[in-house]
Chain A
Amino acid sequence: MLSDSPVSAWVSESTWTYYGMLAVHAVGMAAVVGGTFMLCLRVLGFGQGMPVADLERLRLVAWGGFFANAISGAILFCSNGPRLVANNMFQIKIASIILGGVALWGLWRAIGPNRLEPVFVFGGQAKSIAIGTLFFWTVAIVTGRYIAYTINFG
């Protein structure tokens, strides 16, 4: 079983390793969601004068944060797998991350070649996708936080 694995024992045996993983998870979140928020705000009209292509540079930072969180998340999952799977907040969080990723992919498609224009007012389609992207990633943070309040430690 996952909860009997060495990774589970390692992350659960000390509060330092457990909260250390949560700290990595928090920094990764800031990189992914922070960068995504800025892209969405630019599409919605904030920061005119900055071409979206420049914000594209943040993609590397966001991907770095995403992988850091996939790994730290997997390690944290090992410590409490079955209870997390049964937790509604965890289920909604994972679904929101998937939907947020799809929305972000759609947003880049909607931006298209206009990413090179410093002053560009995006149309309704791109703006709608940006609002959707903001929504899903915000839900991911909110539900992620509420796992701690709703999980059944048994």
Chain B
Amino acid sequence: MDFFFAIDGWIKSTAVSKLMLQSSIAFSLSETLHFIGLCIMLGALLVIDLRILGVMKSTPASVVLKFVPLAVLGFAINLLTGLAFIASNPLGYFTNWMFWTKMGLVTLAGLNAMYFTFVEQPRVLKTPQGETFDLSTRITAALSLAIWVAVIIVGRLLPVTQGEYGTG
């Protein structure tokens, strides 16, 4: 716990933390952007992952991968706004087990996305148009959708398990 208290003190001394605490609009605006970011990200992932799973077969894989930067954009928005939330009350988040569950799921989803990018994607691009992708590729796509949906659910449940340190 001492470790978290030390980090808490340091984060609260930053300008971002002060802004999030002092400006009523900063927190609400970040939350709104977090929701828009998740819509952009999940929308892009629906296109990519459902195509891998065999839906939307008239679109070549190379075209569907154009949606990857959009998913990354949504993630970047949510990473930045997410860091801003933590800055507003670090201990609240660090003492909430639901927060660590969410971070664990985000890490899993990130590892899954890296595996897709470096191992599956080159094979996807070599698969002839109209053919079914490998089972391992399809499992990666199904995992991507399942884990990110779980991230949304767990994220929305954060207030249920927040403790004595408040919002987190």
Chain A interface residues toward B at CB < 8 A: 15-16, 19-20, 22-23, 25-27, 29-31, 33-38, 41, 46-51, 53-55, 57-58, 61, 118, 138, 141-142, 144-146, 149
Contact with A along B17-56 (1 / 0, CB 8 A): 0000000000010011001101111111011001100011
* From B35, B59, B66, contact of A29 by CB (8 A): B35
How extensive is the interface on chain B, given as a class? 35 or more
A25 CA to B35 CA in the complex, in Å? 12
A38 CA to B66 CA in the complex, in Å? 12
A-B contact count (CB 8 A): 111
Is B6 interfacial (CB-CB < 8 Å)? no
**Given A118-B59, A149-B28, A61 and B46 touching (CB < 8 A)?**
yes
Is B75 interfacial (CB-CB < 8 Å)? no
A50 CA to B59 CA in the complex, in Å? 5
**Given A58-B50, A145-B31, A22 and B156 touching (CB < 8 A)?**
yes
- Residues in A with CB closer than 8 Å to B35 are 26, 29, 141, 144-145
Across chains A and B, which 3 residue pairs bring their CB atoms closest together, nearest first? A34-B43, A49-B63, A54-B56
Q: How far is the CB of A148 from the nearest CB of chain B, in Å?
A: 8
Chain B interface residues toward A at CB < 8 A: 28, 31-32, 35-36, 38-44, 46-47, 50-51, 55-60, 62-64, 66-67, 70, 149, 152-153, 155-157, 159-160
Q: How far is the CB of B39 from the nearest CB of chain A, in Å?
A: 4
- Residues in A with CB closer than 8 Å to B41 are 34
A61 CA to B50 CA in the complex, in Å? 11
Closest residue on chain A to residue B40 by CB atoms:
A37
A37 CA to B43 CA in the complex, in Å? 7
**Given A15-B159, A38-B47, A149-B28, A26 and B153 touching (CB < 8 A)?**
yes
Q: By the criterion CB–CB under 8 Å, are B39 and A46 in contact? A: no
* From B44, B50, B67, B152, contact of A26 by CB (8 A): B152
Q: How far is the CB of A11 from the nearest CB of chain B, in Å?
A: 13
Q: By the criterion CB–CB under 8 Å, are B67 and A19 in contact? A: no
* From A31, A55, A118, contact of B47 by CB (8 A): A55
Which of B38, B40, B46, B152 has the most chain A CB within a 10 Å cutoff?
B46
**Given A35-B46, A61-B46, A141-B35, A54 and B156 touching (CB < 8 A)?**
no
- Residues in B with CB closer than 8 Å to A41 are 70
Q: By the criterion CB–CB under 8 Å, are B160 and A142 in contact? A: no
**Given A27-B153, A53-B58, A141 and B39 touching (CB < 8 A)?**
yes
**Given A33-B39, A38-B67, A58 and B32 touching (CB < 8 A)?**
no
